Amino acid sequence: MSRFGRRDEPGTPLGAGRLADISDPAVPDSLRRIVRPAGGRAHPHVLRMAGEHPRVLVAARPEALVHVSFADQGDVEASAAWSVAFVPWGQVEEIRVTGVSITFRWPGHSVSVEMTTHEEALQTVLFFLDVPQG
């Protein structure tokens, strides 16, 4: 397992914790700007918190799927508080809804996030899929 709490293997469930909004004060401003461009609406996103700290953020920008994994708060050796992957939409292999779980898969990586209901998971995926279409 990496220092960012993820395994570089398919099916890693990183979505444990509570859902939160990008305006949560624990989210750094630099990441907030990735999701909410200046003067615009927020791009579709899912933010999961572990206690009071961000755990995983997945956002749909027009040019790429953005995956942010945050270092565990107890990891004193972490050289960065978070790691960001920008995955061009052409490289996204699969977005799957299974029950309340959404799985995003691209070559060599996968991230799963848990929503509250199956309907919320489906609606979130539809919002994500609308973004690359323009």
What are the domain boundaries of the chain? 18-129
pLDDT value at residue 102: 96
Task: Pick out the chain residues at pLDDT < 50.
Answer: 1-14
Select from 9, 4, 27, 6 the least CA-distant residue to 107: 9
List the beta strands (DSSP E) in 11-131: 13-15, 18-20, 45-50, 53-60, 64-70, 82-88, 94-98, 101-106, 109-114
- Could you tell me whether strands 18-20 and 13-15 are parallel, antiparallel, or unpaired per DSSP bridges? unpaired
Select from 69, 68, 56, 58 the least CA-distant residue to 17: 56
pLDDT value at residue 8: 39
Q: What is the CATH number of domain 18-129?
A: 2.30.29
* Residues 67 and 41: beta-carbon distance below 8 Å: no
pLDDT value at residue 79: 52
pLDDT value at residue 76: 52
pLDDT value at residue 34: 87
pLDDT value at residue 58: 95
% of the chain exceeding 70 in pLDDT = 81
